[in-house]
Amino acid sequence: MIRFLLFLVLSLAATQAQAQNRHGLDLVTSLSSDVISIQSNFTGTEIVIFGQASNIERQPNDPSGYELAIVVEGPPQDITTRRKGRFLGVWVNREAERFQNVPSFYAVASTVDIGAMANRTILDDLGIGLNHINLAVSGSSNVALADRDDFRRAFIRLREETGLYSEQETSIEFLTETMFRTNIPLPATIPVGEYKVKSFLFHHGKLVSQTEQMLSVAKTGFEQITFQLAQNYPLVYGVLAVALAIFTGWLAGVIFRKD
């Protein structure tokens, strides 16, 4: 009951995102928090995404063709995936594929199986689902075309294992006929930056409304100072790190010195 009342209050807040309306439908979404602060004791968290799709007639066990998908994307990065092979009896890195401008974090939640929401072309265009992310590769790639799919599957599998990519089908819960919510887990290794939270409303496989909001993930306190120093003044950061290591070693020698 408390969650439901909180939902009603927040859904009326000024931070709501109004949808791009195509069929007289209003899709309104909001986040439990639009800023995630990372400190030294950060072990991961989750955000709650909730909202309301008005002017639809979605009933339990009778969806009337209306389905939802919510995508959370982190800032783009260039990421390299390598494949090991034997060389003189030793396992070493051999071929490598570099994926350009791919989401550093990607999570998707939906009301039904993603493949059943729309045809493949629409899902590819919108980037909904792990099988539909645009993973552009470097033009200088030396990987054979026949192996490209293997590298793509390996890339997604490795990201899933670290919790940076996830797909939660049938995880969006309707609290009423039109009000919904879902939880998106954020691992401890989540990159900092600006995230996009996209919501899509489909009707019989056609996109009828969508919203987009921003989520900020940022370091705070000493972690933020260290991060900015390393990014903006790498030479100073390196000198300080070496000096701190020398001082720590000297201090340990003084404390544990045997007379």
d(CA 27, CA 14): 15
The two three-digit tokens of residue 122, written as one number = 């629409």
What is the set of domains in the chain, with CATH numbers? 2-219 (2.60.40.1930), 221-259 (no CATH)
Q: pLDDT tens across 70-94, in order?
A: 999 999 999 888 776 666 666 666 6
Q: pLDDT tens across 116-130, in order?
A: 889 999 999 999 999
pLDDT band at 27 (very low <50, low <70, confident <90, very high): confident
Q: If you average pLDDT over residues 163-175, what whole number do you get?
A: 91
pLDDT at 19: 43
Characterize the bridge pairing of strands 179-186 and 193-203: unpaired
Against a cut of 0.95, is the pTM above it? no
pLDDT at 215: 93
pLDDT at 24: 53
Name the percent of the chain lying above pLDDT 70: 75
Q: Is residue 159's pLDDT more than 80?
A: yes
Q: Is residue 233's pLDDT more than 80?
A: no
pLDDT at 127: 94
More confident residue, 149 or 68: 68
Mean pLDDT of the chain: 80
Of 110-124, 171-185, 240-254, which gets the smallest average pLDDT? 240-254
Of 16-30, 43-57, 118-132, which gets the smallest average pLDDT? 16-30
